[in-house]
Amino acid sequence: MTDRRTELASNLASVEERIVSACAAAGRKREEVTLIVVTKTYPASDVRILRELGVRHMAENRDQDAAPKAAACADLDLVWHFVGQLQTNKVRSVASYADIVQSIDRIKLVTALSTAAVRAGREVGCLIQVALDAEEGARGDRGGVAPDGIGELAAAVDGAPGLRLDGLMTVAPLAGPFAGRQQAAFERLMEFSSSLRAAHPAANMVSAGMSADLEEAVAAGATHVRVGTAVLGVRPRLG
């Protein structure tokens, strides 16, 4: 094994152990939680190693980095998640490789992504990103719609050609009433997920939890955790 492969295998084993323990503590089955590895700022060669180590779900947050990486790994059987703030001028590119866009937070983006998905002849799964700390009718600093906007966006995605409504995503707020209370934040997201599923039963994905708080997300009921640093190492630059 190369050094990098050894390092990734060891990090992955630690993360896997954390997920297994968190599932056991929550009385959940390990299969209920999918690990998405966030490969942003890391090269396609790492994606290739991760696939060999059994990871299938990868996430990126910038189209400039994601598009060439997805192209370089087109021969691999991967599920690409887009998790960053998305400008409408990038949707055409993103719709060409992303299987799931987790950062849906405005109607204009739904409309643009729908057009792009239809043009690409692809179905793109969509998660509505919820900003738990945003004021009513507003959006969060790091993207996401305030909770009162979930219903309208869900209906828009549901009615948009080329798009599939898959569920909800959040990033634990750094400020506001949920600051430092990740589990409470993720439990709140689960409540919004229950309401969403009442109207859209198939939209059962709940993406929450990162390297620092995956245990809290699993405890709250997340179906997907997004882990970067704990698998790949501390990122060389902000991303």
Ligand X SMILES: *Cc1c(COP(=O)(O)O)cnc(C)c1O
**φ and ψ at 233, to 5 degrees?**
110, 170
Q: Any contact of residue 83 with ligand X (CB under 6 A)?
A: yes
CB of 207 to ligand X, least distance (A): 8
Whole-angstrom distance, CA of residue 179 vs CA of residue 125? 29
| Residue 52 in tokens | 């060999």
* Among residues 18, 40, 57, 106, the one that binds ligand X under rule CB under 6 A: 40
Closer to ligand X by CB, 175 or 199: give it: 175
Q: Any contact of residue 224 with ligand X (CB under 6 A)?
A: no
* Among residues 12, 33, 38, 189, the one that binds ligand X under rule CB under 6 A: 38
Which residues 122-141 are close enough to bind ligand X by CB under 6 A? Answer: none
Closer to ligand X by CB, 221 or 228: give it: 228
In this structure, are strands 224-227 and 79-82 parallel, antiparallel, or unpaired? unpaired
Q: Any contact of residue 98 with ligand X (CB under 6 A)?
A: no
**Candidates 65-73, 110-118, 119-127, 208-216 — which segment interacts with ligand X by CB under 6 A?**
208-216
Which residue's CB comes closest to ligand X?
A: 228
Q: How many CB atoms lie within 10 A of CB 236?
A: 8
Whole-angstrom distance, CA of residue 107 vs CA of residue 233? 35
The answer to whether the CB of 191 falls within 8 A of the CB of 168 is no
Closer to ligand X by CB, 204 or 229: give it: 229
Strand, coil or helix: what is 84? Answer: coil
**Candidates 10-18, 88-96, 188-196, 209-217 — which segment interacts with ligand X by CB under 6 A?**
209-217
* Among residues 171, 172, 203, 208, the one that binds ligand X under rule CB under 6 A: 171
The answer to whether the CB of 200 falls within 8 A of the CB of 154 is yes
Which residues 52-71 are close enough to bind ligand X by CB under 6 A? Answer: 61
Closer to ligand X by CB, 155 or 175: give it: 175
Q: Any contact of residue 189 with ligand X (CB under 6 A)?
A: no
Whole-angstrom distance, CA of residue 85 vs CA of residue 65? 14
Whole-angstrom distance, CA of residue 68 vs CA of residue 62? 11
Whole-angstrom distance, CA of residue 185 vs CA of residue 95? 30
* Crossing angle between the packed helical segments 3-26 and 44-52, to the nearest 10 degrees: 60
Q: Which residues bind ligand X (CB under 6 A)?
A: 38, 40, 61, 83, 171, 210-212, 226-230
